[in-house]
Amino acid sequence: MHRFYIPPADCHNNPLRLSPAESKHARSVLRLREGDRVVVLNGAGKELLCQAAEVRNDSTTLEIIQENSVPPLPFEITLYQAVAKGKAMDFIVQKATELGAHRVVPVLSDRSVPDWDDAKTAAKVEKWRSICIESIKQCGSAWLPKLELPMTPKDALADARQSALSLIATLQPDSKHPREHIDAHAAEHGLAPSKLAIWVGPEGDYTPAEINIIRTGALPITLGPLVLRSETAAIYCLAVLNYELQARQ
């Protein structure tokens, strides 16, 4: 069954209307026809079963048949990801959405994107948000991650203080498996962290100065003996942390 995205503010009426771009895609690419059933996601926990009432290239109306509320995950993971070069950041945002990240915070590391400037911010963030939307349509998640504006490591560290536990993926010798830190938190507080932050560096990792800053608020974790690409490390961290936290529910 095909999935579409309609923002929460536009999901209060029945019938619903797809945007002109979505309508054209629905008719010309997906071959949607009147009477077909589809799912509409609003990215804020609503999943709407609909039936196509009218399908045109510039306008498609959908009659709501059933409305479901999908609860969020019982924990929130925020990915503090150093902005990766080329299309790697697009890939990371896509996979973070699929893996249920609650928030994605791009971090402007000295080793990430040297020519980044404010003029690029709006276009980049808009592109990443579009990738998030396409990702929930692909994986069926009813929740869009919150995509924040890029931050410096210092600003991101202040932002991360809202998390119960912050971790940084690093090759430093005192790094531990994520489970050890989660177990220690659970032993001290009586339960696993409900809000967790994970820091992933760029190609070449964060600079020593940046690591020192981040480690004032984050504990080091190991991803094994191999040196992973930034995008691989992000997927590894989100998958492992999801597994560890779900196992404790």
Domain boundaries, the chain: 3-69, 76-247
> pLDDT-based confidence at 27, cuts 50/70/90?
confident
The span from the CA of 15 to the CA of 12, in Å, is: 9
One-letter amino acid for residue 215 of the chain: R
> pLDDT-based confidence at 114, cuts 50/70/90?
low
- Common-topology check for domains 3-69 and 76-247: no
The span from the CA of 246 to the CA of 95, in Å, is: 18
Q: Class assignment of domain 76-247?
A: alpha beta
CA 48, 51, 53, 59 dihedral sign is: positive
pLDDT score, position 187: 95
Coil vs helix vs strand at 195:
strand
What digits encode the pLDDT tens for the residues 160-196? 999 999 999 998 899 999 999 999 999 999 999 999 9
pLDDT score, position 128: 95
> pLDDT-based confidence at 52, cuts 50/70/90?
very high
**pLDDT for residue 115 is more than 70:** no
pLDDT score, position 59: 86
pLDDT score, position 239: 98
Overall average pLDDT of the 99-128 stretch: 87
Question: Percent of the chain at pLDDT above 90?
Answer: 79
Can you name the CATH fold of 3-69? Ribosomal Protein L25; Chain P (2.40.240)
What digits encode the pLDDT tens for the residues 73-101? 999 999 999 999 889 999 999 999 999 99
Q: How far is CA 94 from CA 91, 179, 206, in A?
A: 5, 25, 22
Counting Cα atoms < 13 Å in the Cβ hemisphere of 69 gives 1
